[in-house]
């Protein structure tokens, strides 16, 4: 071993692979680095084996995106890592990813070259034309239907009834088949449970007056809701490929919904120039091989979702992490970026991501694809220049280098050191930011423009998470895939709301938007419900001086009938200047409307 440390090797390193080197040193049975157990997430993530919170203090050593192995041991304890450094310095390095498969050599860093700035963005962006053409009459429920379509509801009904039939054959239990109207009501109730929280879903049907929800309990019985909850299915279990087969899919049970939303998310909105990639989490604490443990995240246990989001918070593309694609996969960050940015190539988009994904080879490859990217980076990454030590830098100091491959790296000292890697920023462009000193005074501090740009645009995925977290469906389930299914249902609502805001329609809060979607889902049930003489379940809202009924409820006109009531102002033609009163109301909407030989307010109101 002493001979190895003195580079007195009994064989020639040039042209040898790492496996051949290991075989030469310790024999062909030695386990090489490719067989080291790979952590399927970043350095703070691991597959969760239990619910023990002490695991947060015992995070195992991770493998870097570029294949380097991070360890707390000294180099003297790892002589084979020294051998690898000798190979790196004598041979070109191959990036272990299909997306960056060309040989990569170490770049030359200096202060002379400058990255080229991005050209003007000329690609079309914004809401798709087929939505904008009907934007004047569009409703929140119609926007939601662009994602969760009628065709998918037919698919959901078929597979739910198919699963019930399969259970009937195996157990002999009879069942009543479900329908589109009933499943719409079921989904509407589940969305409503995100607005009106109860400890258990059965509390909405409780016999106790302090727990019972009259609106929910009037839409469906608790037994029928429980039956649907246990039988709802998206795919055929009998056709699931066996584990170990080439077609095996860990997300088989929700794959049709994932494919549907991926198509519709990209179809309904064309991305703006600025987009960001980050990770999101679907909360889950049960047993699943897909579950990840991330002690530094707000949601520590659950399913990891890679997301590409627009600056409005709209989710353009997502990928639920199911583990490494092969036994030797190391460049996870490169694979994620390459997969999510396939449709952005050669369009001059600007992409933002954090240090988990960032590396020098990735930035060079994105530059070749005309994707302009910026992100923080880890100092342990390969091919980086040597920076000044933190202790000799004070707040506002910066150091930068540029490479012959069109990259710029910047180290800027704030309260801590900030490291930025970009393939389009000029490192000499600086701005000023305000910082508070220890004595309480506020002073301007020089800051690179790349840092300000990154901080301003990196939060797109956080916007999506914020909109989803406000009223998300956060209810436990015994089935692992239910969490994913209802998360995607919430994601469709959030994306619908983002499009609503981009269309510049009358302002509406996220809560009211979700209520309109729920009203659309349960509209058919509402109008077919036998109205009680004491209370109507139709969600009539008072807006200024006139009542308002959701369009989806109003247009279910087959059930709307006039009936006598007290004399009140007409909801359609009456105004403050000219008050018009009528004795007639709609039996479903419960709003007064004129009805007579010369009046057609009743018909016009339900046709608008």
pLDDT tens by residue, 561-577:
788 888 899 988 888 88
> Across residues 442-463, what is the average pLDDT?
94
Question: What's the pLDDT band for 554 if we cut at 50, 70, 90?
Answer: low
Per-residue model confidence as pLDDT tens digits over 388-434: 999 999 999 999 999 999 999 999 999 999 999 999 999 999 999 99
Cβ–Cβ < 8 Å for 487, 302: no
pLDDT at 604: 83
Cα(341)–Cα(362) distance, integer angstroms: 12
The helix (H) or strand (E) run that includes residue 502 is helix 480-502
Question: What's the pLDDT band for 527 if we cut at 50, 70, 90?
Answer: confident
pLDDT at 77: 39
Q: Supply the mean pLDDT for the chain.
A: 81
Per-residue model confidence as pLDDT tens digits over 259-300: 999 999 999 999 999 999 999 999 999 889 999 998 888 889
Strand boundaries in 31-102, DSSP class E: 46-47, 93-94
> Across residues 30-53, what is the average pLDDT?
39
Q: What is the DSSP secondary structure assignment for residue 507, as one 8-state letter?
A: P
Check whether 84 has a pLDDT greater than 90.
no
Q: What are phi and psi of 76, to 5 degrees?
A: -65, -25
Per-residue model confidence as pLDDT tens digits over 139-197: 999 999 999 999 999 999 999 999 999 999 999 889 999 999 999 999 999 999 999 99
Cβ–Cβ < 8 Å for 317, 265: yes
Question: What's the pLDDT band for 538 if we cut at 50, 70, 90?
Answer: low
Q: Which residue has the tokens 């001086």?
A: 545
Q: Which residue has the tokens 């509407």?
A: 188
Share of the chain above pLDDT 90, in %: 58
pLDDT at 231: 95
**Higher model confidence: residue 22 or residue 113?**
113
pLDDT at 587: 81
Check whether 313 has a pLDDT greater than 60.
yes
pLDDT at 338: 94
Cβ–Cβ < 8 Å for 276, 352: yes
**Higher model confidence: residue 67 or residue 232?**
232
Hey, which of 144-153, 289-298, 319-328, 435-444 has the most confident mean pLDDT? 144-153
Per-residue model confidence as pLDDT tens digits over 240-263: 999 888 899 999 999 999 999 999
Query: Dihedral of CA 322/328/333/339: which sign?
Result: negative
**589: how many CB neighbours lie within 10 A of its CB?**
24
Check whether 44 has a pLDDT greater than 60.
no
> Across residues 300-311, what is the average pLDDT?
95
Question: What's the pLDDT band for 22 if we cut at 50, 70, 90?
Answer: very low
Cβ–Cβ < 8 Å for 71, 84: no
Q: pTM to 2 decimals?
A: 0.73
| CA count, 13 A, side-chain hemisphere, 13 | 16
Per-residue model confidence as pLDDT tens digits over 336-356: 999 999 999 999 999 999 999
Question: What's the pLDDT band for 331 if we cut at 50, 70, 90?
Answer: confident
Cα(27)–Cα(207) distance, integer angstroms: 74
**Higher model confidence: residue 571 or residue 57?**
571
pLDDT at 269: 96
CA distances, 55 to each of 40, 281, 365, 463 (Å): 16, 18, 37, 29
> Across residues 305-329, what is the average pLDDT?
89
């Amino acid at each position: 071993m002493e001979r190895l440390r003195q580079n007195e090797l009994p064989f020639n390193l040039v042209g040898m692979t790492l496996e051949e080197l290991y075989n030469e040193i310790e024999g062909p049975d030695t386990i090489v680095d490719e067989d080291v157990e790979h952590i399927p997430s970043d350095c703070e993530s691991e597959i969760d084996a239990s619910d023990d919170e002490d695991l947060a203090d015992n995070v195992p050593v991770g493998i870097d995106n570029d294949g380097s192995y991070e360890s707390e041991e000294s180099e003297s304890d790892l002589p084979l890592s020294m051998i690898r450094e000798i190979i790196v310095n004598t041979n070109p390095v191959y990036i272990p990813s299909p997306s960056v498969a060309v040989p990569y050599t170490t770049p030359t860093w200096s202060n002379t070259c400058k990255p080229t700035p991005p050209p003007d963005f000329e690609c079309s962006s914004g809401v798709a034309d087929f939505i904008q053409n009907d934007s004047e009459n569009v409703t929140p429920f119609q926007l939601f239907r662009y994602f969760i379509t009628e065709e998918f509801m037919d698919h959901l009904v078929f597979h739910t009834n198919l699963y019930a039939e399969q259970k009937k054959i195996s157990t002999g239990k009879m069942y009543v088949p479900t329908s589109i109207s009933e499943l719409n009501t079921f989904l509407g109730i589940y969305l409503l449970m995100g607005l009106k929280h109860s400890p258990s879903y059965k509390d909405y049907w409780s016999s106790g007056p302090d727990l019972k929800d009259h609106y929910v309990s009037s839409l469906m019985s608790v037994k029928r809701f429980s039956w649907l909850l246990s039988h709802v299915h998206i795919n055929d279990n009998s056709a699931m490929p066996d584990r170990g087969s080439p077609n095996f899919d860990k997300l088989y049970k929700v794959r049709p919904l994932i494919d549907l939303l991926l198509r519709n998310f990209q179809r309904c909105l064309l991305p703006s120039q600025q987009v960001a990639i980050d990770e999101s989490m679907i909360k889950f604490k049960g047993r699943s091989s897909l579950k990840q443990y991330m002690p530094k995240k707000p949601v520590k246990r659950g399913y990891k979702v890679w997301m590409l989001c627009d600056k409005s918070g709209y989710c353009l593309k997502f990928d639920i992490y199911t583990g490494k694609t092969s036994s030797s996969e190391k460049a996870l960050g490169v694979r994620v970026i390459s997969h999510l940015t396939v449709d952005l190539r050669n369009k001059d988009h600007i992409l933002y991501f954090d240090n988990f994904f960032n590396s020098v080879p990735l930035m060079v490859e994105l530059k070749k694809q005309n994707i302009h990217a910026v992100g923080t980076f880890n100092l342990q990454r390969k091919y980086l220049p040597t920076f000044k030590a933190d202790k000799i830098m004070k707040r506002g100091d910066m150091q930068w280098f540029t490479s012959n491959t069109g990259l710029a790296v910047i180290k800027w000292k704030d309260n801590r050191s900030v490291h930025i890697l970009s393939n389009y920023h000029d490192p000499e462009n600086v701005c000023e930011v305000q910082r508070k000193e220890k004595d309480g005074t506020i002073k301007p501090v020089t800051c690179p423009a790349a840092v300000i740009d990154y901080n301003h645009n990196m939060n797109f995925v956080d916007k999506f998470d914020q909109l989803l977290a406000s009223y998300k469906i956060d209810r436990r389930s015994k089935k692992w895939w239910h969490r994913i299914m209802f998360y995607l249902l919430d994601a469709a609502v959030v994306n619908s709301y983002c499009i609503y805001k981009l269309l510049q329609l009358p302002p509406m809060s996220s809560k009211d938007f979700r209520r309109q979607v729920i009203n659309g889902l349960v509209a058919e049930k509402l109008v077919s419900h036998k109205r009680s003489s004491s209370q109507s379940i139709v969600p009539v809202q008072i807006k200024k001086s006139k009542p308002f009924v959701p369009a989806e409820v109003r247009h279910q006109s087959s059930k709307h009938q006039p009936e006598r009531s007290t004399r009140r102002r007409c909801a359609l033609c009456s105004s403050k200047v000219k008050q018009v009163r009528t004795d007639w109301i709609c039996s479903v909407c419960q709003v007064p409307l004129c009805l007579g030989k010369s009046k057609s307010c009743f018909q016009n109101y339900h046709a608008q």
